[in-house]
Structure 1
Amino acid sequence: MSFDSDKVVAVILGGGAGSRLYPLTATRSKPAVPIAGKYRLVDIPISNCMNSGIYKMFVLTQFNSASLNKHIKNTYHFSAFSKGFVDILAAEQTPESSEWFQGTADAVRQSLRHLQNQDYEYILVLSGDQLYQIDFKDMIEKHIENHAEISIATIPVNAKDSGGFGIMKTDHDGTITSFIEKPTADLLPDWISDTGAQMQAQGRDYMASMGIYIFNKSIIGRLLLNVHPSAKDFGKEIIPAAIGNYRVRSYQYDGYWTDIGNIHSFFEANLDLTEDIPSINLYDAAMAIYTRPRMLPAAKLNSGCVKSSVIAEGSIILCKSIEQCIVGIRSRIGFGTELKKCYIMGNDYYDTLAQINAQKESGLPPTGIGENCHIENAIVDKNVHIGNNVTIIGGPELPDQDHELYTVKDGIVVIKKGSYISDNFVLK
């Protein structure tokens, strides 16, 4: 059964303060965090919508939203003859509410009035901080075919991971019958589901909510405005209350999906892209990830060795070796430098020769990474100035700490955006 994509509106949640991704979220919202060398996290849900034929999108923003707003404004332009749009809906004070968004459900509730002029039948609710490639067209067709009022994308997980998710059980036809939020280990035996032979062989016996929802228009309005007018969150309040009272269906997804919730998961998701066969295929033309088009030259390399790494356009790389690294746009890396298991986010601009000389005269390193440096297990945020002979080696022996120039979390060193790291600096 086919669906009319013009009858679907996507609402992409910009997230809260993003404290677990600090310091990457110190000056930007979670969906604006750079990923994979050239994209932003928000490009993932927007691109999945476009690849599924959905071109009406609202992005709900609140914290540190300036860079996200700028990125969307500079990236997503549709033809004047198209009905498509990607519009920002910022948290705002109104006569009905003087508060900011209090949670996922509250954010959508406060934004419903902006959808009144849209001709739609279904709302697709998405998170702005997940990494995946999903055909939403298939999910919506299943939603219509099964006469569902709410559909929830679910993914099989193992017992170890189940404690971090809302876990669901379904009956024989995929209707969700029960839900538990972040179950403890002693409760897990009662929540095993038939996830299919392939998933069960991997020990993935539990159906976890992905935080991706489809609501019929009439249902979401009734739930948010009438039945639960003070509920703040979909996963903790709206969905559990809807089960048993509405036709709530599971859409099982067996592909790659990860929630970029903290520094460790963010780091691992990026380094996974350096594998010979990464978990997510950024080279699939049918499921392309779109981002801001930049008129940058091709990357220039004069390196002794590059292994299992992704190099973004506009980079100038003169280093000794790069291994299992993501190197972002406009990166500059000096002679003799060794990088291993790093995400270098790159730069928003190039220094001119005059600026480089002026910084050297002032005793400051230019933008980029200098000569004869050794950096491992690190994230280098944008527009960082790292001098010569710098050693930064992350690892489990490094305690968690927050410094003016860097943060250490789970053994991963994060050099803060715009920091100046002087010559001969050592952290290991």
Structure 2
Amino acid sequence: MFSEKVLSIILGGGQGSRLYPLTDNRSKPAVPIAGEYRLVDVPISNCINSNFKRIFVLTQFNSASLNRHIKNTYHFSFFSSAFVDVLAAEQTPMSQTWFQGTADAVRQSMHHFLKHDFEYFLILSGDQLYQMDLQLMLDNHIESNAEISIATIPVNAKEATSFGILKANENNQITSFIEKPSKELLVGWESAVSPEMEEEGREYLASMGIYIFNRSLLIELLANPDTVDFGKEILPQSIDRNRVFSYQFEGYWTDIGTIESFFKANLGLADDFPKFDLYNKSKTIYTNARMLPTSKVSGTQMYKAVVASGCIINAEKIEYSVIGIRSKIENGSTVINTYMMGSDFYQALEDILDESIVNMGIGKNCYIKNAILDKNCCIGDNVKIEGGPHLEEVDTETYTVRDGIVIVKKGAVIPSNFTI
């Protein structure tokens, strides 16, 4: 059984320009993470683990691979009403424009939602890493007689300038909101937090972009076509009119909004005790169940390395890196501080033996550091890629440099003896 009271809506985000080139040919929720997963698997898994199993994913950019992933991954019993469906922006007699913002995306899709029987909308972002029991948030919403609940996370003064900050009273009711305040404006915006958070100086409540709305209220709020965004319009306008409550979350949470945050979040999985815990069976992150062989490693020195299924690794050294599915790394190569997404398929043997082409994966005697290698990259022999602050930002046909990180584009071919 699962909760029939909740309909979950995952917002796929816009064009994802800050994650370019990873979003050049896929939507943001479809970006591969942790070697085996997609970003969208995180909010979907949080919903499933919380027993919320009626889920819509809203998107409008490059949604083909996302559709394919969800279709191949999330199957429920034929006798169950559980589902995970993708809703791409569509033209209808009522609306002939693309989604103009988060609230507008929900408004334009409302006719699909109202075919179902439920009491609460659960709105989530499709580009965050966290593991959260959303049932506890719903329980808190009901117990406090809230009309809107906002998941919040305590942050310090330095972090607060990058978020929407909410002020809550002793009952956790939100009384005011400020968007990305300067440090000078933060005075008086502290809220009641746990002693542990207070000791760490995390006394400001940042919105996590996770909301619960009473069904009737959200329908009413979205009746005004001029309001297009939750964070900038719907929520600030509702604080004085409705019962809006904070639900504090103190676990790991990070927003995957930029190449730098994406890179750090993935490499953090190689820590001895990663903050995003893929090994907790009560907080399983689900994904496509591929029938891949085990990985094979020969003669490689490995330190803090995460290696996915189906890899063939003969590298000299892999250090603080995440190696994705079906990755192939040849003799003598060194990989440091790198996220290698892997491959969608194995090359045919005749192609591997053809010396006139650059094979998929990393060739012999390469040195790769501070890089993201997108899916199906072909790196020749004796290639040196070393990201860092010394590199200027650039975008070429085969690679991009952002925040000092070299991103080799999906399917790019880097010839032997090339240096970046």
| Normalised-by-shorter TM-score class | over 0.9
AA aligned to 2:323 is: V
SS in 2 for 1:339: strand
SS in 1 for 2:222: helix
Shift of 1:387: 0.3
Shift of 1:99: 0.2
Corresponding residue number in structure 2 for 1:206: 204
Corresponding residue number in structure 2 for 1:403: 396
Q: Is the 8 A contact 2:324 2:342 kept in 1?
A: yes
Moved over 6 A (4+): none
Which residue, 160, 163, 179 being the options, matches 2:161? 163
Using the alignment, how far apart are the partners of 1:420 and 1:214 within structure 2? 46
Corresponding residue number in structure 2 for 1:145: 143
Are 2:376 and 1:380 aligned?
A: no
Corresponding residue number in structure 2 for 1:33: 31
Superposition pairs of residues 77-96 of structure 1, within 5 angstroms: 77-96=75-94
Q: Is the 8 A contact 1:400 1:407 kept in 2?
A: yes
Alignment gaps of 5+ in structure 2: none
Corresponding residue number in structure 1 for 2:353: 357
Superposition pairs of residues 20-169 of structure 1, within 5 angstroms: 20-169=18-167
Q: Deviations over 1:73-97 (max 9, x none)?
A: 0000101011100011110011111
SS in 1 for 2:65: helix
SS in 2 for 1:110: helix
Using the alignment, how far apart are the partners of 2:372 and 2:87 within structure 1? 31
AA aligned to 1:256 is: Y
Corresponding residue number in structure 2 for 1:389: 382
Are 2:271 and 1:275 aligned?
A: yes
Using the alignment, how far apart are the partners of 1:71 and 1:169 within structure 2? 39
Are 2:417 and 1:424 aligned?
A: yes
SS in 1 for 2:76: coil
AA aligned to 1:202 is: E
AA aligned to 1:410 is: D
Q: Is the 8 A contact 2:173 2:243 kept in 1?
A: yes
Superposition pairs of residues 228-243 of structure 1, within 5 angstroms: 228-243=224-239
Using the alignment, how far apart are the partners of 2:362 and 2:168 within structure 1? 52
Using the alignment, how far apart are the partners of 2:230 and 2:110 within structure 1? 15
Q: Is the 8 A contact 2:336 2:369 kept in 1?
A: yes
AA aligned to 1:257 is: W
AA aligned to 1:309 is: A
Q: Deviations over 1:229-267 (max 9, x none)?
A: 211110000000000210100000000000000000000
AA aligned to 2:366 is: C
Q: Which TM-score applies when normalising by structure 2?
A: 0.99
Using the alignment, how far apart are the partners of 2:158 and 2:17 within structure 1? 24
Shift of 1:201: 1.5
Using the alignment, how far apart are the partners of 2:28 and 2:201 within structure 1? 31
Corresponding residue number in structure 2 for 1:261: 257
Corresponding residue number in structure 2 for 1:195: 193
Using the alignment, how far apart are the partners of 1:107 and 1:246 within structure 2? 22
Corresponding residue number in structure 2 for 1:308: 304
How large is the RMSD of aligned CA atoms in angstroms?
1.0
Shift of 1:4: 7.0
Corresponding residue number in structure 1 for 2:295: 299
SS in 1 for 2:185: helix
Q: Is the 8 A contact 1:91 1:100 kept in 2?
A: yes
- How many matched pairs? 420
Shift of 1:399: 1.2
Shift of 1:183: 0.6
